[in-house]
Amino acid sequence: MDAYERVRIARKTDRPTAADYIGSCFSSFFELHGDRRYRDDRAIIGGIAMLEDMPVTVIGIEKGHTAAERVEHSFGAPEPEGYRKALRLMKEAAKFQRPIITFVDTSGAYCGIGAEERGQGSAIAENLMEMMDLPVPVIAVLIGEGGSGGALALATANRVWMLENSVYSVISPEGCASILYKDASLADAAAENLRLTAQDAYSFGICERIIPEDDIGSPSFYKKLSSELYSEMQKLLQIEDIKEDRYQRFRAFGSGVAI
Amino acid sequence: MKEIRFIYHPDNALEKAGRSAEPLHGEAERTCPNCHVTMKESAFRNSNWTCRCGYHFRLGARERITMIADRKSFQELFQDIVSTDPLSFPSYEEKLRKAQAISGEKESAITGLCTIGGFDAAIFAMDPNFMMGSMGAACGEKISRLFEYASEHCLPVVGFTVSGGARMQEGLLSLMQMAKTSGAVKRHSSKGLLYITVLTDPTTGGVTASFAMEGDIILAEPGATIGFAGARVIEQTTRQPLPKGFQTSESLLSHGFVDAIVPRSEMKAAISSLLRMHRRAI
């Protein structure tokens, strides 16, 4: 399957969204709202839930399924308040020593005048910095689109997993094609060159596990993912310095460029 | 605050390449891309590459450091780190060679140590002539090493940003530099050390969304374009006219994302003063 075909699958509106994962892999989800600064950005949903017997904080970028849901959730494009809400929930998790699981699915951070004026770049930067400092383990699962900094702002994690047909990229294939080839219709070639599939990310060590999609959305799919998250979290909880683990994970990317 | 909105003319070859025109009669001349006045290069150079209209020319990284560091104090670090082509991205190697030839630099960021007004500092400057200061793995590595060095030696970091964002030819590896550098900044910060960023024209994309916006003190040059998403993309996406002064230093100041706008002529004095006031009292 070519890379752009994966992009198309990753964007399908009938794929499970963050809310589906939260509803199916966890129990007793209690949703928490708002960034305590300005508003509640519905592109991000989050709260506290039970992963088997373990309380965890779960946060996801939600795209919604129906037209109404997609509008409500800004098509999964968070504004600065969304990132600040996520950070507030992560800091709350840190205070109560609760591990964190994020579900990432966005074409990118919201592109708009207000988002810029309220500090989109600053909000993402703060998340990257503060996520590096979290004293609790973090697992990020890329379930659809991993669009650039807007995705990384919830994926600065100890472990990053990707669904088989999810993609993770520094720029959208269309954006890349329009900049490099001045032609957005060459997105398929750009998708290939960007090496944005889960298999590519795995080969670079940028994702640690690829989750097969044979039975995606079925009860057995969620059950398996849930138990994998649980056992991985148990392992991460054994790590003495979880911040160091996270720092070194990212520190290794591109450290081999010295001659 | 007087509003200055500069229009960047991509077809202005002088500004784009950051090179001087061929000398016609003796000394080379340059034209201000903002007010279009043409003056001798030395006249602009003597005024720190600022025009009488207030326009700040883009500066190469080394010129920038020369302007800020005390004379002969700059000692370069990590200069052997250069970009590779990890994805075998079509025509990337050629672009790298071209960027190296145009800028005279090996990478989009220069890192090192210097004194500023007598105060020790680690310093980095990005180069607009090197693929518009885009951040690939080598740039991220140099910035990260500089923060690690500064943490180890208890030094403040002063950084000048100019960047189009993450370098797409390195794909995900360049995206990861945002987290990598942010981690290094955080560790430096946790040691109680000072980080001053100076945002210069343009600072956008993945650099804005990482170490550019992570300073304890964030300064900006007048009239710089600073943002995350590109203005043209926003205009096309939202189909709304952009407000006056959108994504300028002045707009970021009024929205609370920049501490001060400092003209180039006062930059060294401002940074020296901040370094002095951040010395430990005990």
Q: What is the pLDDT, as a whole number, of residue B16?
A: 44
Does B26 lie in the same domain as B76?
Answer: no
Q: For residue B254, what pLDDT band results from cuts at 50, 70 and 90?
A: very high
Does the structure show a pLDDT above 70 at B14? no
Are residues B119 and B10 both part of a single domain? no
pLDDT of residue B63: 95
Q: What is the pLDDT of residues A57-113, one digit of tens each?
A: 999 999 999 999 999 999 999 999 999 999 999 999 999 999 999 999 999 999 999
> What 8-state DSSP symbol labels residue A197?
B
C-alpha span between A41 and A33 (Å, rounded): 8
Burial code (b: 16+ CB inside 10 Å, e: under 16) for A22-55 equals bebbbeebeeeeebeeeeebbbbbbbbbebeeeb
Give the closest-approach CA distance of B164 to chain A in angstroms: 12
Q: What pLDDT score does B105 carry?
A: 95
Q: Is A254 domain-assigned?
A: no
Q: Domain check: are B33 and B156 in the same one?
A: no
Domain with B10 in it: 1-57
The number of residues making up chain B comes to 282
Q: How far from chain centre, in Å, is Cα A28?
A: 22
Given an 8 Å threshold on Cβ–Cβ distance, is B213 in contact with A122? yes
Question: Among A119, A153, A193, whose Cβ lies nearest the Cβ of B90?
Answer: A193
Domain contains A249:
no
User: Of B8, B54, B87, B181, which is closest to residue A156 (Cα–Cα)?
Assistant: B181
pLDDT digits (tens, 9 = 90+) for B121-147: 999 999 999 999 999 999 999 999 999
In a domain, A89, yes or no: yes
Q: Quick check: is A150 in a domain?
A: yes
Question: What number of other Cβ atoms are within 10 A of residue B26's Cβ?
Answer: 7
* Percentage of chain B modeled with pLDDT above 70: 90
Residue A241: inside a domain: no
- The domain in which residue A18 lies consists of 3-233
Q: How far is A64 from chain B (nearest CA, A)?
A: 20
- Residue A122, chain B, CB below 8 Å: the answer is yes
Q: Is A257 on the interface with B (CB under 8 A)?
A: yes
Residues on chain A touching B190 (C-beta within 8 angstroms): 133
**Residue A57 included in any domain:** yes
Q: Are residues B190 and B149 in the same domain?
A: yes
Q: Is B99 found in the same domain as B174?
A: yes
CATH of the domain at B239: 3.90.226.10
Would residue A222 count as lying in a domain?
yes
ipTM reported for the complex surpasses 0.95: yes
Residue B282 lies in a domain: no
In terms of domains, do B14 and B123 share one?
Answer: no
Count of Cβ atoms closer than 10 Å to residue B100 Cβ: 17
Per-residue confidence (pLDDT) for residue B231, from 0 to 100: 92
Strand ranges (E), chain A: 27-31, 44-51, 54-61, 100-106, 138-147, 159-163, 167-169, 209-211
- Do residues B227 and B252 share a domain? yes
pLDDT for position A256: 66
The pLDDT tens digits of the residues spanning B74-110 come to: 999 999 999 999 999 999 999 999 999 999 999 999 9
In CATH, what number is assigned to the domain containing residue A88? Answer: 3.90.226.10
pLDDT along chain A (259 residues), means of 10: 95 97 98 97 98 98 97 97 98 98 97 97 98 98 98 98 98 92 90 97 97 97 98 98 98 74
- Do residues B39 and B129 both lie within one domain? no
Are A246 and B237 an interchain contact pair (Cβ–Cβ within 8 Å)? no
Domain stop point among B37, B57, B77: B57
Q: Counting one residue from A and one from B, how many pairs have CB atoms under 8 Å apart?
A: 187
Omega before A219 cis (within 30°)?
no
> Would residue A172 count as lying in a domain?
yes
Same domain for B237 and B141 = yes
Total domains in chain A come to 1
Report residue B68's pLDDT band, with 50, 70 and 90 as the boundaries. Answer: very high
Same domain, B150 and B225: yes
Provide the shortest C-alpha distance from residue B251 to chain A (in Å): 8
Residues B104, B50: one domain?
Answer: no
